[in-house]
Amino acid sequence: MRYIAKVMREASDSMFKVYVCIFIVVLALIRVTFSIYFLDKEPYLSEYFSGNLLPELTGMIIELLLFIFVIDFLRDTERAKQEQDKQFALHKEKVEIEHRLRAQLRVFVRRVFEDVKLGNGETGVDFKFHASEHTENQKTLKILKSMLAEELESSTFADNLIASADFELPLMHSLSSVTADLSGRHLKAWMNIVFYLKQVALKKNVKENTEKLIDWIAMFDKFSYQQKLVE
């Protein structure tokens, strides 16, 4: 009964009318059957109807009902599959967009911290920043942030940081609209990345703004991890 109620609720207008008509026909047949077998004292032609046509009509109606329910079930199954395929394609598209944005962030971080030693014989230029390595990404970004003050004592590092920010700013800004296709949180993170990148390019509070820039890059990575944008 629950399935029948669900079918009636979700059926299109045309299908709903068909169901109603069939329901009325079934009720009419039941009434006729009751009348023939229990109320009609002189059956004559009704004997032929009840003995031959009525069973066949009843069987046809039942088969028709079963056929319609099966068609509706198959239609619902196909609709669910199409929705699942749609969600899968959408997720795959988001993963590709995220990888494109992440690649740009990776280029920036590597360019700025290319000579900074991370331990284990690796430097900033070895930072992979893969979406599947969330824990390692967060750890490395914290290390880079903690070493920033010391590195900024070098004019070479500071000049490279500012030049890299100035170079990457137009491209990062142009990708802002694409970020909106991921999520509102990704867009917020990206807009903050662009904002602090601009502040660094303008040489405004370079240390503080670079620290905030690194924080928002870490947030971008965190949001991707939470939304499972990883292949």
Mean pLDDT of the region 157-177: 93
Both 218 and 120 in one domain: the answer is yes
Both 77 and 160 in one domain: the answer is no
Rounded Cα distance, 4 and 218, in Å:
51
Both 75 and 187 in one domain: the answer is no
Mean pLDDT of the region 162-179: 93
Helices 155-174 and 206-226: angle between axes, nearest 10 degrees: 50
Domain boundary among the residues 26, 54, 87 is at 87
Both 52 and 74 in one domain: the answer is yes
The parent domain of residue 129 ranges over: 92-226
Q: Residue 60 has what pLDDT?
A: 67
pLDDT reading at 170 higher than 70:
yes
231 in a domain, yes or no?
A: no
Phi/psi at 229 (5° precision): -85, 60
Rounded Cα distance, 180 and 191, in Å:
10
Both 60 and 99 in one domain: the answer is no
At 101-142, the pLDDT tens digits run 999 999 999 999 998 888 778 888 899 999 999 999 999 999
pTM above 0.85, yes or no: no
Q: Predicted confidence band at 2 (pLDDT cuts at 50, 70, 90)?
A: low
Both 12 and 46 in one domain: the answer is yes
82 in a domain, yes or no?
A: yes
Q: Residue 70 has what pLDDT?
A: 75
Q: Residue 215 has what pLDDT?
A: 96
Both 96 and 83 in one domain: the answer is no
pLDDT reading at 164 higher than 90:
yes
Question: What does pLDDT average to over the chain?
Answer: 82
The token duo for 119 is 């331990």
Q: Residue 54 has what pLDDT?
A: 62
Q: Residue 109 has what pLDDT?
A: 95
Both 6 and 118 in one domain: the answer is no
Both 120 and 211 in one domain: the answer is yes
Domain boundary among the residues 35, 65, 87 is at 87
- The total number of structural domains in the chain stands at 2
The token duo for 108 is 């920036």
Both 154 and 51 in one domain: the answer is no
pLDDT reading at 35 higher than 70:
no
Weakest-pLDDT range from 10-24, 33-47, 130-144: 33-47
Both 97 and 209 in one domain: the answer is yes
pLDDT reading at 181 higher than 90:
no
Domain boundary among the residues 87, 106, 132 is at 87
Rounded Cα distance, 95 and 196, in Å:
25
Q: Residue 69 has what pLDDT?
A: 75
Weakest-pLDDT range from 37-46, 183-192, 193-202: 37-46
Q: Residue 38 has what pLDDT?
A: 55
Both 72 and 109 in one domain: the answer is no
214 in a domain, yes or no?
A: yes
At 39-74, the pLDDT tens digits run 555 555 455 455 555 666 666 677 667 777 777 777
pLDDT reading at 24 higher than 80:
no
The token duo for 13 is 């207008």
Q: Residue 124 has what pLDDT?
A: 87
